[in-house]
Amino acid sequence: MKTSKKISVLVATAAVAIALVGCSAGAPGSSGEAGNKQLYIALISKGFQHQFWQAVKTGAEARAAKLGVKVTFEGPAAETEVDAQLQMFQAAIDKKPDAIGYAALDPKACIPLMDAAKAANIPVVEFDAGCDSKVPLSISKTDSLGAGALAAVNMAKIIGDSGEIGIVGHSQINSTGVERRDGFVNEIKKNHPNIKIVDIQYGDGDHLKSADIAKAMIAAHPNLKGLYGTNEGSAVGIVDGVTELGLKPGKVAIVGFDSGQSQIDAINSGVMAGAITQNPIGIGEQTVQAAYDAIKGKTPAKIIDTGFFWYDKANMADPKIAAVLYK
Indicate the residue among 79 and 187 with the shorter CB distance to another protein: 79
Task: Using alpha carbons, list the distances in angstroms from residue 244 to 31, 120, 225, 241, 301.
Answer: 49, 55, 17, 5, 47
Residue 68 CA to residue 36 CA, distance in Å, equals 13
Residue number with CB closer to another protein (38 or 49): 49
CA distances from 121 to 93, 98, 118, 134, 305 (A): 10, 9, 5, 14, 26
Residues 237-276 that bind another protein (CB under 8 A): 240, 244-245, 260-262, 265
Residue type, 204: D
Looking at 51, 58, 90, 186, which residue binds another protein (CB under 8 A)? 51
Query: Binding of another protein at residue 184 (CB under 8 A)?
Result: no
Choose which of 40, 73, 202, 228 interacts with another protein (CB under 8 A): 202
> What CA–CA distance (Å, rounded) separates 168 from 201?
5
Instruction: Give the interface segment with another protein, choosing from 85-93, 135-143, 216-224, 286-294 (CB under 8 A).
Output: 216-224
Q: 150-168: buried (b, 16+ CB within 10 Å) or exposed (e) per residue?
A: bbbbbbbebbeeebbbbbb
Spatial neighbors of 30 by CB under 8 A, at least 6 apart, are none
| Binding segment toward another protein, per CB under 8 A, in 98-106, 120-128, 220-228, 305-313 | 220-228
Q: Which of 21, 27, 119, 314 binds another protein (CB under 8 A)?
A: 21
For the chain, the residue count is 327
Q: Shortest Cβ distance from residue 11 to another protein (Å)? A: 9
- Which string of x and - marks every residue 152-181 that binds another protein (by CB under 8 A)? --------------------x---------
Q: Which is nearer to another protein, 12 or 322 (CB)?
A: 12
Q: Which positions touch another protein (CB under 8 A)?
A: 3, 9-10, 13-14, 17-18, 21, 48-51, 54, 77-78, 172, 198-199, 201-202, 206-208, 212-213, 215-217, 219-222, 236, 240, 244-245, 260-262, 265
